[in-house]
Chains A and B, each alone.
Chain A
Amino acid sequence: MTPAFLLQTLASLVAILLLVALAAWARIARSAPALDEDTARVLIAEEFPDHAIGPVWVAADGGSAIARSEDEALIVYRAGDGYVARSLPWTRLAEGKAAGAEAALKLGDITAPRARFALGEGAVWPPQLAEAAGR
């Protein structure tokens, strides 16, 4: 490693930090309003277009939602100003750990290891959703 290379790398690091600070200051992320049942249903339908979507449960903070499709749980949750979607067997929801105002669920996926769900007062985990109609 030459001094010039180290200097270039250091300058690049500084440039990255300045650009990230500028991007954060500009507040130009997409608006990501809290999900309600209707918007969650639309989002889930877009992510799982071949599934019949039954009842939908929305987390207390509107940052995540779960729909039941027969014996599957269709999950969406916010990451930054976007959303991540995964499906699991419905019975796997019971493996989620609820503690205080939050439930954490391991998704068993390297690309998205766990999802968190804000629980409202008196909310139970897993969500109690009746089985949906067939596909």
Chain B
Amino acid sequence: MSYPTLPVEEAHDEAEELLPWYVTGQLEESDRIRVEEHLSSCGSCREQLAFERRMVQEFRAQAPEVDSGWARLRDRIEERGQAPSPVRRAANDLWNVFRQPGVMALAAAQVGFLVVGGSVLLSLSQPSYRALGSAPTSPTANMIVIFRADATEEDIRDVLKANGASIVDGPTSADAYLLRVPTRQRQLALVRLRSNDQVQMAEPIDGAAQ
């Protein structure tokens, strides 16, 4: 297989730039072939190649000791109860679904099905979450909302303020937002949001409001 030949100076600059990755065997074939072709005729790059080899040897010979902090980290997890939240994981899964461009085409009913499915999953995962004996340590989204296409930024801001909601993530390509509302107000917020003209869909995402 042949590859386009570069002018000499350009070939030199390119080869010189790629030498560290040539030495460590990390170049793609086309780059590797060009570098080798240039090395065969460039004494300066062959000298630089020797330098690169020396650097790799030198850097790999240095291995500063850092004590394993596993016990420290395990204590941090167990004592503070910083377990991976099933709520967050399921929210992530759901969120990734919403991030797919194709989701734009989903009907509201399908979206609702996904949300309910996510909630079921979440409720099933609750025991393991509790077994780790922790409360969430950082705010996570507990509601997913899609505003109407003609809702203005001001409309959205007003709706958020009226319900004490903050945006955790979004908008996605499907124009969905993950919101966090105070737990005790969520049921009321859901009712309000669903009856708001600017809101196309509002669903809880951790099952607690079911």
A and B are partners in one complex rather than unrelated chains: no
